């Protein structure tokens, strides 16, 4: 059964990986390869239709024998409060435990008989339930998704059982230092705001959340205007719209007392948080500044800037010949075991930073060169650096959308974020428009002389004082 019905655990690491833009490499049958220009011209159109209740239906038809269809919802830990933090993640666990029409065994048998995979994930602003199946089974897949989202049984016995599963998963996450570090980064950067909450929620909430809390969460956030039924692969848009009308027309678009939830602004606070434990072999450290929102025009230059910094792992080949300057320094001076530049974008803010894993004796040096890389972006980045970053960004974006599931996920998130699927050619044009001057100006706006947020876990005694890290956010020379 594990091969057919499974959850995609919500992790910040995966959330970082999902921050990408829609670049699709479209390969026609009978062709062994296709040029980048051909992929721009041959990208299928994403069609969008809105139902009477506000639910949107979006699809991309590629003619494949398989398809992925799912429901993307504007709901996540940012919509929770201190008391019900973790409710969305709890519901993700409950999704496949049966519905009013299909008990758990019957639901599993339905999915098994189709040879399908039913998955779900929860992030800070989005929740998704999706299924990958044969194109001919699209009607049944939509029916099962509608059952899971609208008629989850929420049996008291199952809730108690999943409570124990949740607590064990929380313990497992505590052992993943990358997850701990990046959750702490959000907690300190957005302290006192909903974005500072983790997706999983605290263990005390996992013990105390009730069926009433879960039902209230569904009634408050699972509304038609905040949902997108997305599909990619061998799907016909008109058929998908008809299926949406027959299965999702009953979803309400009204709020009790017209109390429409409005996201409050989440302020960024320059600060640091340290969880020192000398028993760990390596230190996990993240430093970030407030980044651009998902709809900001600055998002593309910042993505190019992150590609210039790049990433590194001990398993990489190339050594001192790596294209990233920070990666070359990491190799030559043995600065770290790995590092990754990242940008997590939300509806009105973001986090742009560098996460690295290093030996306890190299923390100060790695922090120095990481901040030095930021200063170079603000002051001395060259056209050749930007050209390399743009090419790396295009290659990365193309490679990440290599199947119906990532394409479907991209469609769902883009409709929620932008109200449309941004065409392939538009992203390409926005990337091509980035110059060295633009990178310097945008990076200066977000990085130069700004207060960073820092999170550190492990043997972090050597991590510099916060005021010293703050003073490295500007140069007294140009």
Max intra-chain CA distance, the chain: 69
Q: Cα(294)–Cα(296) distance, rounded to whole angstroms? A: 6
DSSP string, 72-109: EES-SGGG--TTTTTHHHHHHHHTTSBBSSSBHHHHHH
**Rounded to 5 degrees, what are φ and ψ at 430?**
-65, -35
Active site residue 92: yes
Q: In the structure encoding, which two tokens stand for residue 239, read together?
A: 């058929």
**What 3 state SS string does 419-440 have?**
CCCCCHHHHHHHHHCCCHHHHH
Q: How far are the Cα atoms of 77, 98, 146, 259 from residue 255, in angstroms, in the given order?
A: 19, 26, 20, 6
The angle that helices 436-446 and 299-309 make with each other, rounded to 10 degrees, is: 100
Residues 6+ apart with CB under 8 A from 242: none
- CA triplet 327, 297, 300: central angle to 5 degrees? 25
* Bridge partners for 68 per DSSP: 132, 232
The catalytic position among 60, 61, 80, 92 is: 92
Residue in this structure with the two tokens 């062994």, named with its chain if needed: 32
* Phi, psi values for residue 163, rounded to 5°: -60, -45
Q: Count the residues in the chain.
A: 478
Q: With beta carbons less than 8 A apart as the criterion, state whether 101 and 147 touch.
A: yes
Angle (nearest 5°) at CA 14 between 10 and 15? 80
Dihedral (CA of 367, 373, 375, 378) sign: negative
* Residues with catalytic roles: 92
């Amino acid at each position: 059964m594990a091969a057919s019905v499974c959850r995609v655990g919500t992790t910040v690491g995966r959330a970082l990986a999902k921050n990408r833009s829609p670049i699709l490499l479209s390969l026609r049958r009978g062709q062994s390869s296709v040029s980048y220009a051909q992929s721009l011209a041959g990208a299928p159109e994403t069609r969008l239709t809105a139902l009477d209740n506000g639910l949107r239906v979006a699809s991309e038809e590629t003619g494949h024998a398989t398809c992925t269809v799912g429901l993307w919802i504007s709901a996540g830990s940012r919509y929770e409060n201190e008391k019900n933090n973790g409710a969305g993640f709890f519901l993700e666990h409950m999704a496949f435990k049966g519905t009013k029409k299909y008990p758990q065994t019957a639901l599993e048998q339905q999915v098994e008989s189709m040879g399908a995979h039913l998955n779900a994930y929860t992030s800070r602003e989005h929740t998704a339930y999706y299924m990958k199946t044969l194109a001919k089974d699209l009607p049944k897949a939509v029916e099962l998704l509608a059952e899971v989202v609208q008629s989850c049984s929420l049996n008291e016995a199952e809730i108690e059982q999943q409570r124990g599963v949740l607590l064990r998963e929380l313990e497992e996450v505590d052992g993943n230092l990358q997850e701990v570090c990046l959750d702490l980064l959000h907690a300190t950067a957005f302290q006192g705001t909903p974005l500072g909450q983790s997706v999983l929620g605290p263990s005390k909430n996992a013990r105390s959340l009730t069926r009433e809390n879960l039902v209230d969460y569904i009634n408050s956030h699972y509304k038609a205007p905040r949902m997108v039924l997305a599909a990619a692969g061998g799907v016909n848009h008109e058929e998908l719209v008809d299926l949406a009308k027959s299965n999702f027309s009953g979803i309400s678009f009204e709020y009790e007392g017209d109390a429409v939830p409005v996201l409050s602004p989440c302020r960024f606070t320059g600060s640091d948080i340290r969880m020192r434990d000398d028993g760990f072999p390596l230190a996990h450290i993240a430093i970030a500044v407030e980044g651009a929102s998902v709809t900001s025009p600055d998002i593309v230059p910042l993505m190019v800037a992150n590609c210039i910094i790049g990433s590194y792992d001990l398993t990489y080949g190339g050594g001192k010949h790596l294209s990233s300057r920070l990666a070359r320094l990491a190799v030559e001076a043995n600065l770290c075991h790995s590092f990754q530049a990242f940008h997590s974008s939300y509806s009105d803010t973001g986090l742009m930073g560098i996460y690295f894993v290093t030996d306890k004796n190299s923390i100060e040096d790695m922090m120095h060169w990481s901040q030095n890389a930021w200063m170079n972006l603000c002051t001395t980045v060259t056209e050749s650096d930007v050209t390399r970053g743009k090419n790396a960004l295009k290659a990365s974006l193309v490679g990440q959308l290599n199947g119906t599931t990532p394409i479907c996920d991209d469609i769902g998130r883009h409709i929620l974020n932008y109200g449309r699927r941004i065409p392939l050619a538009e992203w390409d044009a926005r990337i091509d428009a980035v110059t060295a001057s633009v990178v310097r100006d945008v990076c200066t706006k977000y990085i130069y002389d700004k207060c960073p947020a820092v999170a550190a876990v492990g043997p972090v005694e050597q991590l510099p004082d916060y005021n010293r890290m703050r003073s490295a956010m500007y140069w007294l020379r140009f």
